[in-house]
């Protein structure tokens, strides 16, 4: 039990953004397992306000990539999970967005647990309406929260960069 807990804590702490991928198919069971972890994320009033477009088709990926300066990363990986907030399910903007963060982080952790790499592209939000239109979704109802680029890690290019974090002392107070 103790070691399982440690495995989970180490998994959380070792997740990192991956931006170099080898283009290779990811099977549908693996994609399903990643989405399944998103599905169990917490949300205010259990509203589950998420909607995901799963993209592996190169033409669709190109249309998404065109909306971001990180288009090269988006196109280089096999899979894009394009994540929207469904305003018809949501009820409070702050809480809905917090739920979406939990949803996305759960999927990032699942990706890491599966030995795959991923990065959350938020820069594309500057063109969020255009991305909704790529999927023929109403931008009023479906608001883009990010694109998760998921793929096999290119170990030759992914360098072991030192990861920086503020210390606990910098942001906690005990009472
Ligand atoms: C809301 C959000 C938006 C992000 N947008 C981008 C992005 O557009 N491009 C990118 O390369 N990384 C993006 N990232 C990844 C962050 O740069 C990364 O999480 C941060 O530098 C910490 O590094 P780590 O994920 O490796 O721990 C984003 C992360 C979050 C949470």
Nearest C-alpha neighbor of 112 from the set 3, 26, 22, 16: 16
- Taking CA 104 as the corner, what is the angle to CA 103 and CA 108, rounded to the nearest 5 degrees? 125
- If you measure from the C-alpha of residue 1 to the centroid of ligand 1, how many angstroms do you get, rounded to a whole number? 32
Helix (H) or strand (E) holding 61: helix 58-65
pLDDT digits (tens, 9 = 90+) for 26-36: 999 999 999 99
- Taking CA 141 as the corner, what is the angle to CA 140 and CA 147, rounded to the nearest 5 degrees? 95
* Smallest CA separation from ligand 1 atom 3, residue: 122
- If you measure from the C-alpha of residue 142 to the centroid of ligand 1, how many angstroms do you get, rounded to a whole number? 22
d(CA 158, CA 170): 29
d(CA 146, CA 81): 8
Give the ligand 1 atom nearest the CA of 18: 26
* Helices 93-113 and 2-14, packing angle to 10 deg: 110
d(CA 120, CA 18): 9
* Smallest CA separation from ligand 1 atom 19, residue: 17
- If you measure from the C-alpha of residue 173 to the centroid of ligand 1, how many angstroms do you get, rounded to a whole number? 26
What is the rounded end-to-end Cα distance, in angstroms, of the chain?
Answer: 31
pLDDT of residue 149: 98
- Under the banding of pLDDT at 50, 70 and 90, the label for residue 51 is very high
- If you measure from the C-alpha of residue 127 to the centroid of ligand 1, how many angstroms do you get, rounded to a whole number? 17
pLDDT of residue 46: 98
pLDDT of residue 4: 87
pLDDT of residue 35: 98
pLDDT digits (tens, 9 = 90+) for 156-172: 998 777 899 999 999 99
d(CA 17, CA 173): 29
d(CA 7, CA 13): 10
pTM of the model: 0.97
pLDDT digits (tens, 9 = 90+) for 58-82: 999 999 999 999 999 999 999 999 9
Average of per-residue pLDDT values in the chain: 97
- If you measure from the C-alpha of residue 17 to the centroid of ligand 1, how many angstroms do you get, rounded to a whole number? 7
- Under the banding of pLDDT at 50, 70 and 90, the label for residue 2 is confident
- If you measure from the C-alpha of residue 18 to the centroid of ligand 1, how many angstroms do you get, rounded to a whole number? 9
* Smallest CA separation from ligand 1 atom 2, residue: 122
Nearest C-alpha neighbor of 102 from the set 58, 42, 28: 42
Where does ligand 1 bind, in terms of residues with CB under 6 Å?
A: 16-17, 19, 70, 119-123, 163
Give the ligand 1 atom nearest the CA of 15: 27
pLDDT of residue 63: 98
């Amino acid at each position: 039990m103790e070691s399982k807990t440690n495995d989970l804590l180490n998994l959380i702490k070792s997740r990192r953004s991956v931006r170099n991928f080898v283009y290779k198919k990811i099977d549908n069971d693996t994609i399903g397992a990643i989405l399944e972890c998103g599905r169990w994320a917490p949300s205010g009033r259990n509203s589950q306000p998420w909607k995901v477009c799963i993209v592996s088709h190169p033409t669709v990926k190109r249309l998404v990539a065109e909306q971001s300066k990180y288009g090269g990363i988006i196109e280089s990986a096999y899979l894009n999970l394009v994540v929207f907030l469904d305003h018809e399910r949501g009820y409070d903007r702050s809480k809905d967005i917090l739920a979406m963060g939990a949803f996305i982080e759960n999927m990032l952790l699942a990706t890491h647990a599966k030995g795959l790499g991923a990065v959350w592209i938020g820069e594309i939000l500057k063109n969020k309406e255009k991305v909704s239109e790529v999927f023929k979704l109403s931008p009023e109802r479906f608001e883009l929260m990010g694109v998760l680029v998921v793929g096999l890690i290119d170990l030759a290019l992914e360098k072991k960069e030192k990861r920086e974090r503020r210390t606990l002392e910098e942001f906690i107070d005990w009472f």
